[in-house]
Structure 1
Amino acid sequence: MKNNASNRNTSSDSEKGRLERKPFVSRREQQGPDYYDKFQATKKEWEKFITGNTDIDRQVITAEVFDSWVRCQKLGVDPIRIPHHEILAGSDLKKLLGYHASFIDISRPFMQNLHKFLAGSGFLVALYDKDGYVLEVIGDENAVNHARRGEFVVGSLWTEESSGNNNVGTVLRLKKPIQIFAAQHYHRFFHNETDSSAPIYDPEGKLIGGICLTGHYFRATPDTLGMVIAAASAIENEMQTRKAARELQVAYRFQKTVITSIPEALITIDNQGLISLINDNAKKLLFPDENNVVGQPVHKVFGKENHRFLSIIRDYETLTDAEIRIFTRSTGYDYTMTCNTISDADGKTIGKIIILNEIKRAKTMVTKMIGAKAKFSFEDVCGRSPRFLTTLEQARVVSQNSSNVLLLGESGTGKDVFAQAIHNAGDRKNGPYVAINCAAIPRDLITSELFGYSEGAYTGSRRGGNQGKFELADGGTIFLDEIAETPLELQAVLLRVIEDKSIVRIGGSRVRPVDVRIIAATNRDIMGEIRKGTFRKDLYYRLSVFSIHLLPLSERPDDIPLLVDNFVQKHAQYSKRKPCTVSPQVIDAFQQYNWPGNIRELQNVMERMLNFARSDELTADLIPEEIRPTSAGHRLEPIMTSREFERQAIQKMLSNKLKKAEIARKMGISRPTLYRKFREYNIS
């Protein structure tokens, strides 16, 4: 609610009463000759100005005051008519004071001190905001009542437009301290007063308001302006102090939250060797039985058994992820240790910060960072042919234990998908899944890649050493693809790792236990490699606790429609398009092609056709040239039914002198089933 007093009748009795506030100058001795003479001098210049004479004595009227008179004249301010002010009330006033509550709260003690110093002088202390609204008024009862008659109350708006130059509006315009004495006021109504006022800036340097002293002119001195300036400065300093305190508190809360949130154990040590801070995780891991280790010497807390830990703190300025064993309660625990120096603004060392991470937890973090997670499950495996379903059931059974598995099959048959599905269906599904292609790593690097290396193992090795894939897979599964490509010397090491369930990093001597399930895979004839001497027979037996043979796509043509539909659906989901239909001619051509690249080749062909498709149907003209029928009706690969292909495969294996048991194993069928196929295909 706003009360605009300018709507009142200016000739009312009450306003005549306000007009009676004439300067009391009849007793020159009481006021003092200096004030009386100064008053008369200013009044003389004021009368000259309002009558149109601008030849003003600048010794009496300062440049700021003269400029303010000119502004008021241009604004059309009546220097004689009683001024009226907008006054906030009700919810508007409550909102104003609520918004500036902190400003008022900070300023009030300084206003009260100023009032006490001037008690009995008739001066009034007031606080106002950047818009000119009065926020707080403190003074003697007579002074407050006198101000109320002039509408100088909390919620009133004071601007040069409404009141001429004054202790609020003029300071806000000039943005600097000013004193307006008696008739230096443009409006006659204020000639009895002297205003001393100073602006107030917040810690960011923004003008937020000001503080003023108002009283009878004959009681004013140059010191009153100095008092106001000092009060404004004190308020600004208090705001700066409170801001700094808030920032310090916020920084402390941030620091405390960060320290508490760090999952590692954190310890800070001052330059006297005393523990200055530990977080909750450090207390839980290292000092569960200690009430308070802060303030205690670090060498006494950790003891002589942790001499390496103490020597690192003493000798290293910076160290990252060094492996260390720390003994607590006579038991050793393995950590990675990071040590950094804490310096002051001048670069002087004032302490050190130590971060300890449990090795087991660090491995979990690393495996997450490198994406060591299996994403495929048995639900992602497509197929419905009887022989394929038999293979799938074998894999499901195998997944329920932790024995090693050897996956056999041509390239592109989905050995990696089966490996991930076996992992995700077993008890190790929440552990890491680390895959490595043995054929893709140079022979001189594969050992360190699998088993890691210790610090200083060779030139350029990482400080603190490096974990190998077996350590990263601890508690989970490692998939060794293309296992037949590994050199014999590595096969010997791998055999020992399987037997001992532990590894020793290159260049190190410490035995590190590992709990890892191995799933190996190869597209080679592994028995042939054993006969040639390129693969160890004893390693084969340790890897092939379970051996699963994945059928080539040429032996499961009935699964092609299902695989095609699966690729179509995935492509639609990825491209956010409606799934295409596939013409029967495409399916027929696919089923007659032998797919030497197996499922991977089919997937590539489908992706190419889907990207080139310009309609909602995949037609035969989109089939790549290499598998498309020729003009003579022949394909680049010989056309044969799955039965013909199977018969030829059996005959070929027989001609290679393979035993019937080995043929059955390669085909993933039982010997009785193989004999049945002999009779069916008339094979003797």
Structure 2
Amino acid sequence: MTEDSRSEKRRLLREINLMGVDYYERYHQRTYLEWKKFTSGDRDIDMSVIPQEVLDCWSLCAELGVDPFGQPCNEVLTGEALEDLLNKNKEFIDVSRPFMINLYRFLEGSGFMVSLFEHRCFVLEVLGDPEENKLIRTSRGFVGACWDIKNSGNNAASTVILYRKPMQVFGSQQYIRLYHGATGASAPIFNPDGDLLGGIVIFGRYYRANPHTLGMAVAAAGAIENELKIRRALSESQVASSYQQTVISSIQEALIAVDSTGRVTLINDNARTKFGLINTKVEGRSIRDVFSHENAQLFTLIENNETITDTEVRIASNKFSGDYTLTCNPIFSPDQNVIGKIIILNEIQRAKSMVTKMMGASANFRFEDIYGQNSRFLMTVDQARMVSQSTSNVLLLGKSGTGKDIFAQAIHNASDRKNGPYVAINCGAIPRDLIASELFGHEEGAFTGSRRGGNQGKFELADGGTLFLDEIAETPLELQTALLRVIEDKSVLRIGGTRVRPVDVRIIAATNKDLREEVRKGNFREDLYYRANVFAIEMVPLKERIDDIPLLADYFIKRYASAMKKRIVRVDKKVIETFMNYPWPGNVRELQNAIERMINYLKTSELTVDLIPDHIRHPGHTTEIREDSIMPGETERLMISRMLNQKMRKNRIAEKMNISRATLYRKMKQFDLG
């Protein structure tokens, strides 16, 4: 230790041992009185003395049956179990030990000890003053002992595991009276992936408590995390070289690297196979020599210094020909000059199999994920199961929020097309001048702003799978003829194109309108109606399956409580009663949103009726907006306005409306919603 370090240590020891002993003694006495009230059954706790997190821990201890007056029943590992624990955490211990030793050098002589524990609260290492061994024995703070809340009540270690943040637990803040003579300051330690490894705790006699100990624990935990990151980086660097060739060889796409002059520097086995270059010397040759002069579009794209992503290109020669998507990424030198390029060519058919990720749409729901016990609703589910085994088109009818999109996903996942793509498009959320391009695709130069190399439409992307046409009634009348032709002919012609492309797509359409009435009004083609309406499934509104509300509410409460890391001990029965008495014009989606809002506002462990939105608690005080009384644009405006008022993030709003963020911003501007 340097002289400066010794001086700093002496200063800290004086501060730890001399400052505020009387204050901590008084606070200990006040805390003890509140603890005594709580353990005797009195829940009228002075919150100016007891922090909310401590009170929550006491409540949890009581719920778990921890005896505040008894001996802690710590689980203690010995023999092979202890050896296994230490072996599994060897790197964690090895990295942490030097920092623990360094920390203890500052604390030595202060009466404090330093301990390391893993994510289940088992002690891995202890450093402490010899005269404090009695405290170690009393608190069972030896290696292999478990300090979890179930066995040891709340302490600095167990609360860190519970709350995943730095915590200081003082004297009689601890639920078990035996520990009232101790204080602890602890900080969590996370691995580079963000997973909780455990934590480091500084503990000692309660009258030696000091706020600096928490800062020291946090600093030590941060240093350990940084060392873990450094070790991870070094390890990754050492294996990167050996991985590189394996990765390049295992890439299923064709990969070619060229230098700034266009000469090939690297080519993987898949590129050699696809382009007939198995026995051909390629490295060092110009890309123009490797591929024939017929591929002018390919050369133009590669020689451009811009980043190109998933641009369609046709590659042809005497040995092969095919349609590919091309991605070309420039490689820059430190002074930002292009020194090479990485070219990835992916067969169109293979690209289509990745459409779910590309489009951000996915069929995540299965029939097993659909909750309900109502007899009519179960008949609807059975009908959908039966329909899933057919290849015919399906029409889902029902008001917004009844789960049409979930049923569409479940039908896809139960069908023979479950391994194919699932593509969803909201026909009412796309501008009229863009929807044709979205559905059928376009060739390069088809219109101003068209994508270089052209773009696949949703029908092509869904080839071999399912296309979900949500709000099909909003499809412009002039587009319905083309839509009918694609469905009947099973082929698509891109805008501005001349080549007809076959597509094998199953259509699942959905609407919240009466399509027969739309046909009568002349808003929807009769022949398209009959083509889409092979199987019609009518969704059951929530107001007609009230008996399912308790089940659905329980599911959403658990889901959002878990997502927001909130612990709910009790749900007031009036909450469910209120839900049962509300007509739910927005159906299951409205119930889901209401519960999400309630969990956001929840501050205790009890879900109470006052958290329910006012329009649900007092439905007579608000005016119901009928869905069929307003125009589609007004519906969108109201939906966006409502979600903005709920302080919902814009990317979440876009996700709920199944539109891009750019489209959302355009609609916000259109509707003057700021």
TM-score by length of 1: 0.50
Cα drift, residue 260 of structure 1 = 3.3
Asked if structure 2 preserves the Cα contact closer than 8 Å seen for 1:568 and 1:580, the reply is no
Deviations 1:324-374 (A, max 9, x none): 222366553111235688999999999876542222233344531442212
Aligned to 1:65: none
Number of residue pairs aligned between Structure 1 and Structure 2: 386
Do structure 1's residue 470 and structure 2's residue 437 form an aligned pair? no
1:345, 1:413 → 2: CA distance? 55
Q: Does the residue aligned with 1:440 lie in a helix, a strand or coil? A: coil
Aligned to 2:474: 485
The letter for the 2-side match of 1:336 is T
Aligned to 1:264: 253
1:280, 1:523 → 2: CA distance? 52
Deviations 1:99-118 (A, max 9, x none): xxxxxxxxxxxxxxxxxxxx
Do structure 1's residue 421 and structure 2's residue 416 form an aligned pair? no
Aligned to 1:245: none
Instruction: Indicate which of 348, 361, 365 corresponds to 1:376.
Output: 365
Q: Does the residue aligned with 2:372 lie in a helix, a strand or coil? A: coil
Deviations 1:150-172 (A, max 9, x none): xxxxxxxxxxxxxxxxxxxxxxx
Do structure 1's residue 325 and structure 2's residue 314 form an aligned pair? yes
Asked if structure 1 preserves the Cα contact closer than 8 Å seen for 2:288 and 2:299, the reply is no
1:610, 1:343 → 2: CA distance? 48
Asked if structure 2 preserves the Cα contact closer than 8 Å seen for 1:372 and 1:432, the reply is no
Q: Does the residue aligned with 1:324 lie in a helix, a strand or coil? A: strand
Instruction: Indicate which of 526, 529, 533 corresponds to 1:544.
Output: 533
1:361, 1:438 → 2: CA distance? 27
1:423, 1:523 → 2: CA distance? 20
Structure 1 residues 290, 614: closer, same or farther in 2, change over 3 A? closer
Alignment of 1:349-498 (within 5 A): 354-365=343-354, 367-498=356-487
Cα drift, residue 637 of structure 1 = 9.2
Cα drift, residue 608 of structure 1 = 3.5
Cα drift, residue 283 of structure 1 = 1.1
Deviations 1:204-250 (A, max 9, x none): xxxxxxxxxxxxxxxxxxxxxxxxxxxxxxxxxxxxxxxxxxxxx99
Structure 1 residues 637, 396: closer, same or farther in 2, change over 3 A? farther
Cα drift, residue 550 of structure 1 = 0.3
Q: CA RMSD in A?
A: 3.8
1:296, 1:451 → 2: CA distance? 39
Aligned to 2:519: 530
1:575, 1:357 → 2: CA distance? 40
Alignment of 1:83-98 (within 5 A): none
Structure 1 residues 267, 619: closer, same or farther in 2, change over 3 A? closer
2:239, 2:607 → 1: CA distance? 63
1:629, 1:351 → 2: CA distance? 66
Structure 1 residues 395, 349: closer, same or farther in 2, change over 3 A? closer
Structure 1 residues 459, 636: closer, same or farther in 2, change over 3 A? closer
The letter for the 1-side match of 2:404 is K
Gapped regions of structure 2 (runs ≥ 5):
1-237, 625-674
Aligned to 1:149: none
Asked if structure 1 preserves the Cα contact closer than 8 Å seen for 2:467 and 2:508, the reply is yes
Cα drift, residue 560 of structure 1 = 1.5
Aligned to 2:296: 308
Alignment of 1:594-673 (within 5 A): 594-613=583-602, 616-628=605-617
1:254, 1:623 → 2: CA distance? 54
Deviations 1:401-442 (A, max 9, x none): 332211000111111111111122222223322222111111
The letter for the 2-side match of 1:285 is K
Gapped regions of structure 1 (runs ≥ 5):
1-248, 639-684
Q: Does the residue aligned with 2:467 lie in a helix, a strand or coil? A: strand
The letter for the 2-side match of 1:283 is R
Do structure 1's residue 502 and structure 2's residue 495 form an aligned pair? no
The letter for the 1-side match of 2:296 is R
Cα drift, residue 301 of structure 1 = 5.6
Aligned to 2:542: 553
Deviations 1:614-649 (A, max 9, x none): 65554445444334369xxx78799xxxxxxxxxxx
Aligned to 1:519: 508
Structure 1 residues 419, 579: closer, same or farther in 2, change over 3 A? farther
The letter for the 2-side match of 1:543 is A
Q: Does the residue aligned with 2:428 lie in a helix, a strand or coil? A: helix
Deviations 1:366-409 (A, max 9, x none): 53144221222212211111111100001111122332211000
Asked if structure 2 preserves the Cα contact closer than 8 Å seen for 1:335 and 1:356, the reply is yes
1:351, 1:482 → 2: CA distance? 47
The letter for the 2-side match of 1:471 is E
Identify the range of structure 1 (426-435 vs 277-286) with the bigger mean alpha-carbon deviation. 426-435
Cα drift, residue 313 of structure 1 = 7.9
1:342, 1:578 → 2: CA distance? 49
2:484, 2:513 → 1: CA distance? 19
Cα drift, residue 462 of structure 1 = 2.2
Deviations 1:275-316 (A, max 9, x none): 665321111211166465557786676456x44367648975
Asked if structure 2 preserves the Cα contact closer than 8 Å seen for 1:405 and 1:546, the reply is yes
Cα drift, residue 527 of structure 1 = 0.7
1:267, 1:604 → 2: CA distance? 49
The letter for the 1-side match of 2:352 is K
The letter for the 2-side match of 1:551 is V
1:360, 1:514 → 2: CA distance? 11
Asked if structure 1 preserves the Cα contact closer than 8 Å seen for 2:311 and 2:455, the reply is no
Asked if structure 1 preserves the Cα contact closer than 8 Å seen for 2:467 and 2:505, the reply is yes
Cα drift, residue 523 of structure 1 = 0.5
Cα drift, residue 472 of structure 1 = 2.5
The letter for the 1-side match of 2:495 is I
Identify the range of structure 1 (616-625 vs 443-452) with the bigger mean alpha-carbon deviation. 616-625
Identify the range of structure 1 (564-573 vs 333-342) with the bigger mean alpha-carbon deviation. 333-342
1:506, 1:392 → 2: CA distance? 39
Structure 1 residues 551, 253: closer, same or farther in 2, change over 3 A? closer
Deviations 1:565-602 (A, max 9, x none): 22222123223334454444443343332221111222
Structure 1 residues 337, 635: closer, same or farther in 2, change over 3 A? closer
Q: Does the residue aligned with 1:539 lie in a helix, a strand or coil? A: helix
Do structure 1's residue 564 and structure 2's residue 553 form an aligned pair? yes
2:562, 2:329 → 1: CA distance? 49
Q: Does the residue aligned with 1:444 lie in a helix, a strand or coil? A: helix
Cα drift, residue 525 of structure 1 = 0.8
TM-score by length of 2: 0.50
1:564, 1:270 → 2: CA distance? 60
Q: Does the residue aligned with 1:375 lie in a helix, a strand or coil? A: coil
Asked if structure 2 preserves the Cα contact closer than 8 Å seen for 1:319 and 1:337, the reply is no
The letter for the 1-side match of 2:431 is P
Asked if structure 2 preserves the Cα contact closer than 8 Å seen for 1:477 and 1:519, the reply is yes
Alignment of 1:176-325 (within 5 A): 256=245, 259-260=248-249, 262-267=251-256, 277-287=266-276, 290=279, 292=281, 302-303=291-292, 306-308=294-296, 312=300, 320=308, 321-325=310-314
1:637, 1:557 → 2: CA distance? 22
Aligned to 1:87: none
Asked if structure 2 preserves the Cα contact closer than 8 Å seen for 1:553 and 1:598, the reply is yes
1:559, 1:586 → 2: CA distance? 14
Structure 1 residues 272, 381: closer, same or farther in 2, change over 3 A? closer
Asked if structure 2 preserves the Cα contact closer than 8 Å seen for 1:383 and 1:559, the reply is yes
